[in-house]
A and B are shown apart, each in its own frame.
Chain A
Amino acid sequence: MADLDVDKMLEPEQILHASMILAVESENVQDDDLILKVQEALSCDSSDYDAALSHIEQHRDGGNWGGRSEAVLHRSRERLREAMDSGTLPSEGPLADSLNTLIGDDDDDGEIDPFAELGVSSSNGGSFGSTPVASDDPLAAFMDDEDDDDDIVDESGYFSGEQPVNSEEEEELVVDSEPTVVEPEEEIPEEPEQNFSPIAGYEMLMSTCWIDGILDPAEAKLLSRKRAELGITFEQHLEILRNILESSS
Chain B
Amino acid sequence: MMEENTPFWHALELAWTGDGALSLHSIRLLDAMQNMIGLSNQRRSEIESRFEEEVVYDLTRAGFGCGDQALAAWVGTLTFLDDPASQDVARAMGKAALVSGLSKDRWSSSYSWMSQLGLGDAYAEGVWLEGEDAGELARVPALLVPVAQKIGLITEDEQ
Contacts and interface: CB of A to CB of B under 8 A. Distances in A.
Interface residues of A, number: 16
B103 A213 contact: yes
Interface string B119-131: 0000011011111
Contact of A214 (B103, B108, B124, B131): B103
B155 to A, nearest CB: 19
Contacts of A245: 104, 107-108
A224 interface: yes
Contacts of A214: 101-103
Interface in B59-111: 98-99, 101-104, 107-108
Interface residues of B, number: 15
Given A217-B99, A220-B98, A238-B124, A210 B129 contact: no
A234 interface: yes
A86 B124 CA distance: 45
B107 A224 contact: no
The 10 closest A-B pairs by CB, nearest first: A224-B129, A214-B101, A215-B102, A220-B129, A234-B130, A213-B103, A220-B98, A220-B128, A214-B103, A217-B98
Interface of B: 98-99, 101-104, 107-108, 124-125, 127-131
23 contacts: A213-B104, A214-B101, A214-B102, A214-B103, A215-B101, A215-B102, A215-B103, A216-B98, A217-B98, A220-B128, A221-B129, A223-B128, A224-B128, A224-B130, A227-B130, A234-B128, A234-B130, A237-B130, A238-B124, A245-B104, A245-B107, A245-B108, A248-B104
